[in-house]
Amino acid sequence: MSDRPLPIVRTVADLRARVAGWRAAGERVGFVPTMGALHEGHLSLVRLARQRADRAVASIFVNPTQFGPNEDFDAYPRGEARDAGLLADAGCDLLFAPTVAEMYPRGFATTVSVTGVSEPLDGAARPGHFNGVATVVTKLLTQCAPDVAVFGEKDYQQLQVIRRLVRDLDLPVEIVGGPTARAEDGLALSSRNAYLSPQERAIAGRLNVILREAVNRLKAGEAVAPVEADALAALTAAGFQQVDYVEVRDADDLARLGPGPAEAPARILAAARLGRTRLIDNMAV
């Protein structure tokens, strides 16, 4: 454990003052936005930020606007003291942990909406989700003004939405995707895995295996349509109660591909439910 407590700021003014000090000293700043409940996946992003910059800032903000009315905003795991210790150990220099009132003061009226890439897949399954993500990420990036910001490839559609908005709004920040951290059986690490019962956890480990089998078939030149259909059948047979999607898409803008063999670069993405837990995963084809 790190013996130095992680400095925590809760206002945009304090965040900007710290970052300005580093910049004045000629230091590069890396940034990792999170919603807390940190695991090895987040910590690997912090280490990546630290490799790309002299200083690493993380934020913890459970953003209410990206949760739907029937989603888990109230139940979302929270534990700032534990998270701060993990961040300090991973080499983080500063935690920005604002309140809802700091992020969305009275009268807040602006939404950032990214068309195209945010519309299919999770955009269709979770209406309004990517408007909430795009708005809060735009705010966080302009508040911190980092040189580089790191987001996990685990949330691949989110990463592509953020890349698009940064290009479209000319935000002067480099966006880096960090590889998905996985458990021993390949399950993608997620704060929401904590909701899984032991039986559900056993089924959850099949998601990555089924995607990997699909990737191997696509790489061998098989057509997209039957591979998607077989992956859907395999997820249902494994015990997933609802499959929101399992689809092969263009890796950049997530446009639909033709039914024939996938042309690279492509990505297979899936979302499936086990009880109250919704799992997502994706892989490069």
The binding site for ligand PAF (CB under 6 A) comprises 33-35, 63, 66, 133, 136-137, 155, 158
- Tell me the three state secondary structure of residue 117: coil
Using the minimum distance from each CB to ligand PAF, give the nearer residue, 60 or 234: 60
- Terminal Cα-to-Cα distance of the chain (whole angstroms): 39
Q: How far is the CB of 38 from ligand PAF (least distance, A)?
A: 10
Beta bridge partners of 176: 150
Return the number of the residue (131 or 158) whose C-beta is nearest ligand PAF: 158
Is the torsion defined by CA of 172, 103, 94, 23 positive or negative? Answer: positive
Active site amino acids = 42
How far is 68 from 46, CA to CA, in rounded Å?
Answer: 28
Q: Give me the sign of the Cα torsion angle 143, 7, 175, 281.
A: negative
* Alpha carbons 15 and 238: distance in angstroms, whole number: 47
d(CA 28, CA 273): 41
Percent of residues in the chain assigned helix, strand, coil, to nearest 5: 40, 20, 40
Residue 161 vs 257, nearer CB to ligand PAF = 161
Contact by Cβ (8 Å): 16, 145: yes
Q: 57 and 28 in contact (C-beta within 8 Å)?
A: no
Closest contact distance (angstroms) between CB of 8 and ligand PAF is 17
User: What pairing do the DSSP bridges indicate for beta strands 29-34 and 266-274?
Assistant: unpaired
Least Å distance, CB 39 to ligand PAF, is 11
Which lies closer to ligand PAF via its Cβ, residue 34 or residue 235?
34
Partners of 60 in the beta sheet?
34
Closer of 139 and 206 to ligand PAF (Cβ): 139
What is the closest distance, in whole angstroms, from the C-beta atom of residue 195 to ligand PAF in the complex? 16
Least distance CB 140 / ligand PAF (angstroms): 7
Min dist CB 269 to ligand PAF, Å, is 15
Q: What are the tokens at 137?
A: 């990420």
Dihedral of alpha carbons 13, 170, 162, 27, sign: negative
Cβ proximity to ligand PAF, 182 vs 212, nearer residue: 182
d(CA 117, CA 281): 17
